[in-house]
Each structure stands twice: as C-alpha cells, then as structure tokens.
Amino acid sequence: MTTTSAPAQAPSTAFQDRAGYRRTINGIRNAALPILIVAVFVVASIAVPQFLTVGTIRAIFLATSVTGIVAAGMTAVTLSGNLFSLGVTPTIVFSGVVYFWAGAATGNMFLAALAAIMASLVLGLIQGYIVGLGLNPVVVTLATGAVVYGATAIVTRGEVVAASNNKFGVFATFSVVGIPLPVVILVVFTALAWFLTEHTRLGRNLQLLGANKETARNSGISPMTSTIWAFLAFSVALGIAAVLQVSQTLQVQADNFPELTMDVVAAVLVGGTAVTGGDGSPIRSVIGALFIATITQIMVLVGIPQGTRYFVLGVVVVALVITLHLLRKAISR
C-alpha cells in the first residue's frame, strides 16, 4: 500500500500582500518630504523671482545648518522615548555667551568653541540624569531652560554680549570649496548621527528603549545610561549650533532666538520621528529642518508678516505630522 504525503503548503498570499503593502506605505512615507521640498523649490522658482538666487539659497542652507544640527541631536532624545527638550533656546544663548567670554579670555576661537560645547554638555548631563530617574522630560527641560535663561540674564545684566573682534565670526565666514562651513558641519554631524543611530549598539539601545521600555530593561539595557547618552549627544549638537549661530550674529542677548526651540521640535516631527519613540532618523529630521527653512524664506521674500508666517507654518507642520502619523499607523496594521 502506498501513501501520498500532502503537498507542502504554499506561503500565505495574504502575508505576502501585507508585507508588500507595508513596504509601499513605508516607501511613500520616506519619499514624501523630499518630493515635497523639490516641489516647493520648483513652484517658488517660478512664482517668486528672487527665490532662485545665490543669496536666497545660501540663507536657506545657513538657517538649516543651525536648526538641522540641533534637530539631528534631538532625534536621539525623541528616539529614546523622552519626547522633546524645550530648553533649546536658553542653552544656545548660554553657550553663545560662554563662546564670547572664552574667546575674549584665550584669544583662541577653537578653545572658545570647545568651552561652549562643554558648557552645553554639563547642562545635558544634568538633565539626562534627572530624566533618567523617571521625571517627565518636558517638565525637566522646560524648568532647566527657565533656570538657564534666568542665570544668563543675571550674569549678563540683560545686556548684549558682543564679539570683541571679527575673529569670532570665523565659523560662519569660512568656506570649504565654496560651501559655507556651517553647511559642511551639518552634513558631517548628520552623517555621524545617522551612523551612531543605525549601526551601533547605542543607537539600537535607544530605539528599543523608545519602542518598549520594559522590553529594553529585560534585555539588559539601562534606561538611565541610554537616556544620559541621548542627552549628551543632543548637548553636543546644541553646543555646535550655538557657536555657529553667534558666529553669524556676532552678538547675543538672553532673550534672543525665541523661535528656535519650536523650529527644532517642528523639524523632528515633520521628519517623521515618532513622538513616543522607537522610530526616527537624524537624516529625516534635517530634511524637516530644510523644509521649514525653505517655507520660512519664501514667506519672508513674499513679505508675509511674522505673525502670519507662524500661523501658516504651524498649519503646514500639523498637516504633515497628521499625515505621517496616519502612514505610520497604516504600516503597523
């Protein structure tokens, strides 16, 4: 008597269809913002005659360099499940003051830049430790920002701290083969942040911590250590951005750059980083910063008042964030 075995079951067509669907939606999510930026550039080039000039493009990329570096750094914080830092502006201002003071004391702009970054790192270490204890990151960073702002206003007496000479602007005026140094630093920093996020144990730990803290803890990942590292990476970005920012303005005051914090948070959100953590990319955050800088510059050229610019930018950001959220939900089905 012969027996025949049942034919091997074919792979589930439904499973393959779902996987293909997820890949398609993920591809749309990743490509949407770059395509949108190209479309905005094309439309602006036709509708706004003064847009497609060297001066305008340079202004867009210089604005992106500061916001983009901070957004790439903040991605580590958000990726780890710690939402956002609302203390960007006070830290930038404080580090800028340190840059001017250290430069005046040493006469060496590189030592001054290092001092500014170290000052930012100290603030980041403190905040990372407190957040690592389990306190709400928004409350911690907001409170720390208020303290730093107040301290800066007290030690400077609320006055303008200005560069003593033009050497302080070296980081803004120097170019590499015609490309402004801030843009070069943005590219290098973003590439480094991407590599650390995607190809190191630290980056994988941050992603797992943001995706599921309990699973991360059971896997031997220390939430405290990972949180501190995330804030330290963010603080390096803040220190670098502070030097680049005040190198352009050659002066700083306690209440300067009020819009910077919201621009950075918007860049991270527009870049598609999940607010709850576990999913995000420094590259996408920088693209988000480029989008915001481009839209802002177009509105400035057209002559739209500042209040209206904030309103329009807010509406655009909310629309994009909702769209990205719906795409992310579609992928997770």
Instruction: Examine residue 16 and state whether it is found in any structural domain, yes or no.
Output: no
For 120-143, how does the pLDDT look when each residue is reduced to its tens digit (9 = 90+)?
Answer: 999 999 999 999 999 999 999 999
The number of domains in the chain is 1
Mean per-residue pLDDT over the chain, rounded: 91
- Report the percent of the chain where pLDDT is more than 70: 92
Instruction: Examine residue 310 and state whether it is found in any structural domain, yes or no.
Output: yes
3-state secondary structure the chain: CCCCCCCCCCCCHHHHHHHHHHHHHHHHHHHHHHHHHHHHHHHHHHHCCCCCCHHHHHHHHHHHHHHHHHHHHHHHHHHCCCCCCCCHHHHHHHHHHHHHHHHHHHCCHHHHHHHHHHHHHHHHHHHHHHHHCCCCHHHHHHHHHHHHHHHHHHHCCCCCEECCCHHHHHHHHCEECCEEHHHHHHHHHHHHHHHHHHHCHHHHHHHHHHHCHHHHHHCCCCHHHHHHHHHHHHHHHHHHHHHHHHHHHCEECCCCCCCHHHHHHHHHHHCCCCCCCCCCCHHHHHHHHHHHHHHHHHHHHHCCCHHHHHHHHHHHHHHHHHHHHHHHHHHHC
Q: Is the pTM of this model over 0.85?
A: yes
Within 8 A by CB and 6+ apart from 196, the residues are: 202, 203, 233
Considering only residues 258 and 7, tell me which one the structure prediction assigns the higher pLDDT: 258
Query: Residue 25 above 80 pLDDT?
Result: no
Mean pLDDT of 3-21: 57
Query: Residue 52 above 50 pLDDT?
Result: yes
Gap between the Cα atoms of 72 and 270, Å rounded: 12
Instruction: Examine residue 21 and state whether it is found in any structural domain, yes or no.
Output: no
Query: Residue 49 above 90 pLDDT?
Result: no
Instruction: Examine residue 167 and state whether it is found in any structural domain, yes or no.
Output: yes
For 171-189, how does the pLDDT look when each residue is reduced to its tens digit (9 = 90+)?
Answer: 999 999 989 999 999 999 9
pLDDT at 298: 94
Instruction: Examine residue 115 and state whether it is found in any structural domain, yes or no.
Output: yes
pLDDT at 324: 82
Considering only residues 271 and 18, tell me which one the structure prediction assigns the higher pLDDT: 271
Query: Residue 72 above 60 pLDDT?
Result: yes
- Report the percent of the chain where pLDDT is more than 90: 78
Give the domain extent around 146.
50-332
Confidence band, pLDDT 50/70/90 cuts, at residue 24: confident
Is the backbone of residue 48 left (phi > 0), alpha (psi -120 to 50) or beta? beta
Query: Residue 20 above 70 pLDDT?
Result: no
Query: Residue 268 above 80 pLDDT?
Result: yes
Considering only residues 152 and 19, tell me which one the structure prediction assigns the higher pLDDT: 152
pLDDT at 1: 47
Mean pLDDT of 158-167: 93
Instruction: Examine residue 312 and state whether it is found in any structural domain, yes or no.
Output: yes
CATH number for position 178: 1.10.3470
Instruction: Examine residue 116 and state whether it is found in any structural domain, yes or no.
Output: yes
For 80-115, how does the pLDDT look when each residue is reduced to its tens digit (9 = 90+)?
Answer: 999 999 999 999 999 999 999 999 999 999 999 999
Mean pLDDT of 61-85: 95
Query: Residue 305 above 50 pLDDT?
Result: yes
Query: Residue 14 above 90 pLDDT?
Result: no
pLDDT at 108: 96
For 210-247, how does the pLDDT look when each residue is reduced to its tens digit (9 = 90+)?
Answer: 999 999 999 999 999 999 999 999 999 999 999 999 99
Instruction: Examine residue 69 and state whether it is found in any structural domain, yes or no.
Output: yes
pLDDT at 329: 76
For 269-304, how does the pLDDT look when each residue is reduced to its tens digit (9 = 90+)?
Answer: 999 898 889 989 999 999 999 999 999 999 999 999
